[in-house]
Amino acid sequence: MLTFKNQELAPVINFLGKLALAPKASRCRSKLIKKLMEKYEEFSEDEKNLFEKYGERDDKGNLVKTDDGNYKLVPETAKECLKEQRILVDEEVMIALDEIEEKVKYLVAQLDELDIEFSGNDAVIYDTLMDKLEEEI
């Protein structure tokens, strides 16, 4: 069972999605991304519910967005919203690998043999992902 924080889901999905992998590893990656996406969609829905609860609304009852595309919060409850959002992004989610358990070793082997140099955020994501996957094999 893989465990990620909600805030790690999107970076891991994006990282995995841009890698060129051999067929067996690619199939496993695609199935893993599908499972990660399910959890990310749940997270996104939970986050949207927070903004529904704490977001500022216009005259028509629609949520107001700031110039940078984020939802504007009601000033009186913004602190509470941000506290709940922090808890949500740090929440751990479990991803069952039962149906791809046998294929994970191909994905790990392929990721381990990649002839790519990672730096910055990609290096951190790669390290985190490999640690979690290696625990599964």
Domain count, the chain: 1
Whether residue 136 has pLDDT greater than 90: no
Q: What angle, rounded to 10 degrees, do the helices at 6-17 and 23-54 form?
A: 140
Model confidence band, residue 9 (pLDDT cutoffs 50, 70, 90): very high
For residue 124, give both structure tokens.
Answer: 């951190």
Inter-CA distances, 115 with 34, 67, 81, 110, Å: 25, 41, 43, 10
Whether residue 31 has pLDDT greater than 90: yes
pLDDT tens-place string over residues 117-129: 999 999 999 999 9
pLDDT for the residue 99: 85
Model confidence band, residue 137 (pLDDT cutoffs 50, 70, 90): confident
pLDDT for the residue 101: 86
Domain enclosing residue 113, as ranges: 2-136
- % of the chain with per-residue pLDDT over 70: 100
